[in-house]
């Protein structure tokens, strides 16, 4: 809640301006009291600042006839509030005057209808107040800019969009300087925002990079967009690990040929197993199941079940992929390590990668197959078996 500078504790307050009637918004409720993903717009706005570590005091400016509605929507304890005026300028002045007893060093002015402000953007504005009198976030204009006749709509000329930015809130200032700037305004003079008031008073101001999601809710369409942003699912990456071992034996009528990562390997050795004993695909199948917390390969394909005798392990891998996708998982990358002294894997590596990539629907560049030895140590070093490790990276919505 505090920032230390030159040995002094700097207090920071925010004035949230929410006294407007929202005539452009329409509907029965002013926009700041409308529901946004289960809470009012204004409550979400206030919480963004009350939970920030550098904010000491939150003050909300409301309309004189909105106290009951404000108290109902904000819950208990109700934030500090003050009544605003007929214009935004008058409402900001009312908020600044109400802070006189608090006497903060810095003050942020924020629109009550901007509920998606991030903690990072708040911090970015506050950081610049060590070097400038005022600061605000802004986003570049990406569309072409035309000057038009407001009555006829006729194009008058072009403007360089690189010279303009869309300014957002919060707009931050040194409190006493902003109070003085507002106090010196001629009666009934209006400015587009607080930066304009500050610059008219000779204050030096700066813009920092803003966030396009910090939208101001002005219309019903804006509220719908804010709801979509609030409800948008985030994607995270998860990892699954798999490990499997199969004993080697001579090729016979019941064992062989050796299949590794879906590819027949020319060798006099075979692998023992109920299915085709593809140790590489078994490890990869377990990695996918593990990433999605869906058990292991034995749960889905028990060796006691005769239907899986001599089965192609590609069936197991395909089944694990389908289960993962049903749970919202998407395979991004797989990495398999085969551990053995023999056979040599290098001649078959590309074919193995192609087989797995085709089975999982992945680009070849997202499939890795490699091999190593244990320097003749252990059961793999003695040629008694082949082991495989697999790692899978997946993406899932939360």
CATH number at residue 292: 3.30.1330.50
Go through the chain and tell me how many residues it has: 398
- Cβ neighbours, 10 Å, residue 177: 16
* Contact status, residue 380 vs residue 374, Cβ threshold 8 Å: yes
Structural domain including 33 reads: 3-231
Exposed, middle or buried by CB within 10 Å (0-12, 13-18, 19+), for 192? exposed
Identify the domain boundary among 231, 265, 280.
231
Phi (first) and psi of residue 255, to 5 degrees: -130, 130
69 and 17 both lie in a single domain? yes
CA–CA dist 232, 223 (Å, integer): 14
Phi (first) and psi of residue 60, to 5 degrees: -115, 130
- Cβ neighbours, 10 Å, residue 186: 5
* Contact status, residue 16 vs residue 61, Cβ threshold 8 Å: yes
295 and 363 both lie in a single domain? yes
* Contact status, residue 389 vs residue 239, Cβ threshold 8 Å: no
Nearest alpha-carbon partner for 353 in 271, 257, 284, 296? 284
54 and 183 both lie in a single domain? yes
Q: Model confidence over 343-374: pLDDT tens digits? A: 999 999 999 999 999 999 999 999 999 999 99
The predicted structure's pLDDT at residue 1: 31
Identify the domain boundary among 231, 262, 279.
231
CATH classification at residue 117: 3.90.550.10
183 and 289 both lie in a single domain? no
* Contact status, residue 173 vs residue 200, Cβ threshold 8 Å: no
Q: What is the pTM of this model?
A: 0.63
245 and 211 both lie in a single domain? no
* Contact status, residue 278 vs residue 284, Cβ threshold 8 Å: no
State the residue for tokens 């990358």: 333
CA–CA dist 390, 61 (Å, integer): 58
Q: Model confidence over 56-104: pLDDT tens digits? A: 999 999 999 999 999 999 987 888 999 999 899 999 999 999 999 989 9
184 and 245 both lie in a single domain? no
Identify the domain boundary among 175, 199, 231.
231
**Lowest mean pLDDT: which of 108-112, 191-195, 233-237?**
233-237
């Amino acid at each position: 809640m505090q920032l230390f500078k030159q040995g002094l504790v700097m207090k920071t307050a925010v004035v949230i301006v929410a006294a407007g009637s929202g005539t452009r918004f329409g509907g029965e409720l002013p926009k700041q009291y409308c529901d946004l993903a289960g809470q009012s717009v204004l409550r979400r706005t206030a919480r963004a600042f009350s939970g920030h570590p550098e904010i000491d005091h939150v003050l909300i400016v409301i309309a004189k006839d909105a106290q009951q509605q404000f108290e109902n929507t904000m819950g208990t304890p109700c934030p500090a509030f003050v009544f605003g005026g007929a214009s935004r300028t008058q409402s900001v002045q009312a908020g600044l005057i109400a802070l006189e007893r608090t006497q903060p060093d810095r003050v942020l002015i924020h629109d009550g209808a901007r509920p998606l402000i991030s903690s990072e953007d708040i911090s970015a504005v506050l950081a610049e107040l060590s070097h400038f009198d005022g600061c605000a976030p802004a986003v570049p204009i990406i569309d072409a800019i035309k000057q038009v006749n407001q009555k006829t709509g006729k194009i008058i000329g072009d403007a360089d969009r690189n010279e303009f930015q869309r300014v957002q809130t919060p707009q931050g200032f040194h409190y006493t300087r902003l109070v003085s700037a507002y106090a010196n305004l001629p009666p009934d003079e209006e400015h587009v925002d607080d930066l304009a008031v500050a610059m008219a008073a000779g204050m030096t101001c700066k813009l920092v990079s803003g966030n396009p999601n910090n939208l101001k809710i002005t219309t019903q369409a804006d509220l719908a967009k804010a709801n979509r942003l609030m409800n948008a699912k985030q994607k995270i990456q998860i990892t699954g690990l798999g490990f499997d071992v199969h004993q080697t034996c001579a090729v016979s009528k019941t064992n062989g040929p050796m299949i590794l990562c879906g590819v027949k390997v020319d060798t006099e050795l075979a692998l023992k197993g109920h299915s085709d004993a593809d140790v590489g695909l078994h490890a990869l199948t377990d990695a996918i199941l593990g990433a999605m917390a869906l058990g292991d390969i034995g749960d889905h394909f028990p060796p006691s079940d005769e239907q899986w005798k001599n089965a192609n392990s590609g069936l197991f891998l395909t089944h694990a992929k389908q289960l993962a996708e049903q749970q919202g998982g998407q395979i991004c990358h797989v990495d398999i390590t085969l551990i053995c002294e023999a056979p040599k894997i290098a001649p078959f590596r590309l074919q193995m990668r192609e087989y797995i990539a085709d089975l999982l629907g992945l680009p070849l560049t997202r499939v890795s197959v490699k091999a190593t030895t244990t320097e003749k140590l252990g059961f793999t070093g003695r040629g008694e078996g082949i082991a495989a490790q697999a790692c899978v990276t997946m993406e899932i919505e939360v």
